[in-house]
Amino acid sequence: MSFRFGLFGKSAELQLEKDASSRYLPVVISAMIFLAALALAGLFSIHTAVQDWSRAVSGNLTVEIAYEDGKSLDKKVAVATDFLKSFPGIDNVRPLESTEAARMLEPYLGRSDIIASLPLPRLIEVTIAENSSVDLLAAAEKLADAVPGAQLNTHRPWLDKMILLARSIQVLAGAIMVLVSIVTVIIVIFAARTGMVMHQEIIEVLHLIGAQDHYIARQFQDYYARLSFLGSLPGLILAIIVMQVLGFMAGQLEASLITAPTMILEGWVALAMLPPLVALLTTTTVRWIVLGSLKRMM
């Protein structure tokens, strides 16, 4: 049994190009590819974002020194800074000024001059050296002993919640891709069976003059594969445009700790493979449907 995957074969005898039943198939395929492309882009970009967030959070710590009325926080900040600089594995230590911390809270609490008058804790940014292992538990205990009221924050609980949300979105994107694939197969099956019914008389004549089932099936599969391939291109292009717009909007967010999701090379390759894959899926489905229908017609 021969199997050929062609996109530009002509159905000379059946003249499927004149069928009104398949007129809207490219539109439906375009919509399915649009959804599949967005879901696939979500899978890859969120995976990359989780890795970026993990690196950013694992490489950055924050030391919080609680506010104490009547106490000199500047002295505690200086002691904590000297201690952290001497700790193995620490690459950079930068204490934040009170005005800088107030500006960080300004989008949430209002004017920075009012925030500066509040009893705010002092913050110290800590960067861990690359490829170095730091015993965070020991560092937190020693820091608390050296500077009472100092607390080391690893941002791990926040990262765990972000990762849980990202994994949930990935599962949803995978479910969307599975659903889109099932719906696409159902649509192709319906179109192929409709075409078989419309051309039943011609198919019977071809059988009488000696045409083989595989020859007839090839005309159907090439025609519907071509429709699926050409119909998938507008959907893919529209999905890429939407992705670029969403990426631009995400890049405008003022977030220093997290970065906007970006597509990696493997993601772009997977998107480029969508039109050939949907054409191959259409070819396989149509061939299976047509050959089964032809056997029942004999």
d(CA 108, CA 2): 68
200 in Cβ contact with 240 (< 8 Å): no
- pLDDT the model gives residue 253: 60
- pLDDT the model gives residue 2: 41
d(CA 31, CA 38): 11
Q: What pLDDT, in 10s, does the model give residues 232-272?
A: 999 999 999 998 888 777 666 655 445 556 777 888 898 99
Q: What does each C-alpha distance from 73 to 19, 93, 226 come to in angstroms?
A: 81, 17, 72
Residue, of 204 and 227, whose pLDDT is higher = 227
- pLDDT the model gives residue 116: 63
Residue, of 134 and 73, whose pLDDT is higher = 73
Residues in the chain: 298
Residue 251 corresponds to which tokens in the numbers above? 């890049």
Cα-Cα-Cα-Cα dihedral sign, residues 208, 212, 213, 218: negative
Identify residue 70 by its one-letter amino acid code: G
The mean pLDDT of 7-12, rounded to a whole number, is 52
Q: What pLDDT, in 10s, does the model give residues 125-178?
A: 887 777 666 676 777 788 888 888 788 776 667 777 777 888 888 888 889 989
- pLDDT the model gives residue 70: 55
Residues 6 or more apart whose CB falls under 8 angstroms from that of 270 comprise 40, 44
Residue 104 CA from chain centroid, whole number: 30
Residue 109 corresponds to which tokens in the numbers above? 């609490």
Mean of per-residue pLDDT scores for the chain: 78
Q: What pLDDT, in 10s, does the model give residues 80-129?
A: 888 888 877 777 888 887 777 777 766 666 665 666 667 777 888 887 77
What is this structure's pTM? 0.67
- pLDDT the model gives residue 238: 95
- pLDDT the model gives residue 232: 93
Residue, of 261 and 64, whose pLDDT is higher = 64
